[in-house]
Chains A and B, each alone.
Chain A
Amino acid sequence: AQKVTQAQTEISVVEKEDVTLDCVYETRDTTYYLFWYKQPPSGELVFLIRRNSFDEQNEISGRYSWNFQKSTSSFNFTITASQVVDSAVYFCALSEANNNDMRFGAGTRLTVKP
């Protein structure tokens, strides 16, 4: 069965620090997608990125970057020069080709202090 582990329950940083959120996944499928979502205090999850299992190219979007490594089954998320508005719970999620389900990790609560 698919499984997503976010070992960091809570992280606290000071504004302008860089921070990396870890995500480790388990799957037996060769075709799958990985996602990151942000959940601010308002409650709705906001899509950040999607990556398929055949594309290991890292991606950068502004202050956000993602490092996908199949060899270690990890899909880590880095925020550079963090800001107070980055404070939220961040979820990593996995969807497999043979399983109609999106499995979320338990989330990492990031607090950025001014």
Chain B
Amino acid sequence: EAEVAQSPRYKITEKSQAVAFWCDPISGHATLYWYRQILGQGPELLVQFQDESVVDDSQLPKDRFSAERLKGVDSTLKIQPAELGDSAMYLCASSPARLAAMFHEQYFGPGTRLTVT
């Protein structure tokens, strides 16, 4: 069964350092999402791609976060510089839907748990 892959699974970094997460969605899925999940809370959308284009990044803290999906396949989320408050689980999800993608089920990866010290 196809799965969304994410790496690394765990990352510990010091504040002010740069960190990057990678996501490989299910093959053929047009839409890709990055979510942040703080411990004890539900996921919050950071950015949504359709193919290589950003559909929505209104919740992405652009002063320190960046995301790209250059070839419309895998994606990278970067934080520079990391802050203590960035400690969270970063989840990637994908969907085969193009139109009204938010109305369709999403397939999630296992996430990257980031700890900033």
Q: Which residues of A contact B (CB under 8 A)?
A: 4, 33, 35, 37, 42-47, 50, 52, 91, 93, 95, 97, 100-107
- Mostly, the A contact residues are strand
| Extra 9 A-B pairs, beta carbons < 8 Å, given A42-B110, A104-B44 | A4-B42, A33-B102, A43-B111, A43-B113, A44-B109, A95-B102, A100-B48, A100-B55, A107-B42
Instruction: Count B-side interface residues using an 8 Å CB cutoff.
Output: 26
**Shortest distance between the CB of B58 and any CB in chain A (Å):** 8
Contact for A45 among B56, B93, B104, CB less than 8 A: B93
Interface residues of B (CB under 8 A from A): 4, 40-45, 48, 55-56, 59, 89, 91, 93, 100, 102-111, 113
What's the least CB distance linking A27 to chain B, in Å?
A: 13
With known contacts A43-B89, A45-B93, A105–B108 Cβ distance under 8 A:
no
Contacts of A35 in B (CB 8 A): 105
Q: Give the one of A45, A50, A52, A100 with max B CB within 10 A.
A: A45
Q: How many angstroms from the CA of A30 to the CA of B107 in the assembled complex?
A: 26
B102 pairs with A44, CB closer than 8 A: no
